[in-house]
Structure 1
Amino acid sequence: MRLIFALSFSLLLAGCSADTSDLQQFIARVQTSTPPPIEPYPEFEPVPAFQYSAENLRSPYERPKNQGLDVQELTQNSCAQPDLTRAREPLEAYGTDALTIQGFFTSKNKNWVLITASDGSLHRATVGDHLGLFFGRITRIENDTVYYTEQLPDGAGCWQVENSKLTMSQGAGEANNV
């Protein structure tokens, strides 16, 4: 074993000779060769400075000043308004397009519906329970359909009542208005 080690070590030392003449020749050849020509940088034309002329106008990040016009409050007391003080129910955290009916059952002469939300949670509901983002309220449960009303804002401070339904055959994202 020592003999093999000694032979391989001596071969390694023999490979490290001081003869670097081929390396010296390569360096000399590279130094004497002419470098490739470098193209000059292109001349750039100066761009004229932009003159901002709107410094006297209102900033787009500020509210317009009241110009003497009376601002009317958008909420009107003479039209339908949802009860904003009532505690929200769990199914009101989801849009009706994110709800899927899984089944129906009757308990103590009361119809119930099993509804799955888009996050996979299962909920049960009956007539009078709320669902959806727009103050929806279940009005009727029949066979494979849940009928409900929603209160949708009309943009003028009032809320319009709209009838809609969910059926067992429609999946999430297929809300169907009546």
Structure 2
Amino acid sequence: MSIYRMLSCSAFIPFVLATSGCGDGGVQEVREWMDETRKQTVVAVPKLSEPKKFTPFVYAVKDDLDPYNPVKLSIALAKLKPNTGTGLQPDLERRREPLEAYPLDTLKMVGTLEKPGLNYALIQVEKSVFQAKVGQYIGQNFGMITKITDAEVEIKEIVRDAAGEWTERKATLELQENSK
């Protein structure tokens, strides 16, 4: 009989466990509370205020000269300073030479050429080669060739300093040898 009781107890235990989960466990009370709260709650959406009117700003100073322009600064400093200049000034009325159209950093000395009584420097710009002699102008800063040797061309440039005065500065073009 003990086996019969064990079998009957083992069949009864799953039934008891399955039916114990059938109760609502207080869920009905929670549903009733939620329904009541929904009925009592009033939805209040605040009215949005009118958007601010946008008025575009017109920047009228964009066509004026830049206040940080170095040319403007040098002119203003020159006006403030008493005229203590050295009298050095480039000849702005003379006719420009072809090599004055290029900055010095784009020019290359590629050789020299000797003719009776005259030395010429061969100056390459892009794919063109020019002959230049002492006294010719070169570069965009009123540069004049002062000396030509086999290794370099010496140039005296006349430029404006920060105070607006003309000053001399030396520059050189060194021989650029072909490296193949």
TM-score range, shorter chain: 0.5 to 0.7
- Corresponding position of 1:164: 171
1:154 aligns with 2:161: yes
| Residue 90 (1) aligns with residue 98 (2) | yes
Distance in structure 1 (CA, Å) of the matches to 2:158 and 2:82: 14
Contact conserved, 1:147 with 1:163, CA < 8 A, in 2? yes
User: Residue 100 of structure 1 aligns with which residue?
Assistant: 108
Give the CA deviation at 1:126.
Answer: 0.8
Is the alpha carbon distance of 1:155 and 1:124 closer, same or farther for their aligned partners in structure 2, counting shifts above 3 Å? Answer: same
**Partner amino acid, structure 1, of 2:138:** L
The separation in 2 between residues aligned to 1:152 and 1:92, in whole angstroms, is 14
Confirm or deny: 8 A CA contact 1:75 1:157 kept in the other structure: no
TM-score (norm: length of structure 2): 0.54
Q: Which residue of 1 aligns with 2:11?
A: none
**CA shift for structure 1 position 143:** 1.7
Amino acid aligned to 1:98:
T
Unmatched runs of 5 consecutive residues or more in structure 1: 1-44, 64-70, 172-178
Name structure 2 gaps, 5 residues minimum: 1-48, 66-77
Q: How much does 1:114 deviate?
A: 0.8
Decide which structure has the larger Cα Rg and report it: 2
Q: Any idea what SS the aligned residue of 2:105 has?
A: helix
Query: Does the Cα contact within 8 Å between 1:145 and 1:167 map onto a contact in 2?
Result: yes
Asked if 1:124 is matched to 2:131, the reply is yes
Aligned residue for 2:41? none
| 8 Å CA contact 1:81, 1:159 repeated in 2 | yes
Residues 109 and 174 in structure 2, CA contact (< 8 A), matched pair in contact too: yes
Q: 1:105 to 1:151 in 2, by over 3 A?
A: same
**Partner secondary structure for residue 162 of structure 1:** strand
TM-score with structure 1 setting the length:
0.55
Judge conservation of contact 1:75–1:156 (CA < 8 Å) in 2: no
Task: Sort the Cα spacing of 1:105 and 1:170 in 2 relative to 1 into closer, same or farther, 3 A.
Answer: closer
Q: Offset of 1:74 from its aligned partner?
A: 8.6
Matches within 5 A, 1:24-63: 48-50=52-54, 59-60=60-61, 61=63
**Aligned-residue offset at 1:77:** 7.9
Q: How big is the shift at 1:49?
A: 2.7
8 Å Cα contact 2:111/2:150 also seen in 1: no
Query: 1:67-102 CA deviation, whole Å, 9 max, x = no partner?
Result: xxxx94899583321110011111001111111112
Distance 2:161 2:139 in 1: 17
Shift in alpha-carbon separation, 1:92–1:137, aligned structure 2, 3 A: same
Distance in structure 2 (CA, Å) of the matches to 1:62 and 1:92? 30
Identity in percent: 31
- Three-state SS of the structure 1 residue aligned to 2:109 is strand
Aligned length: 117
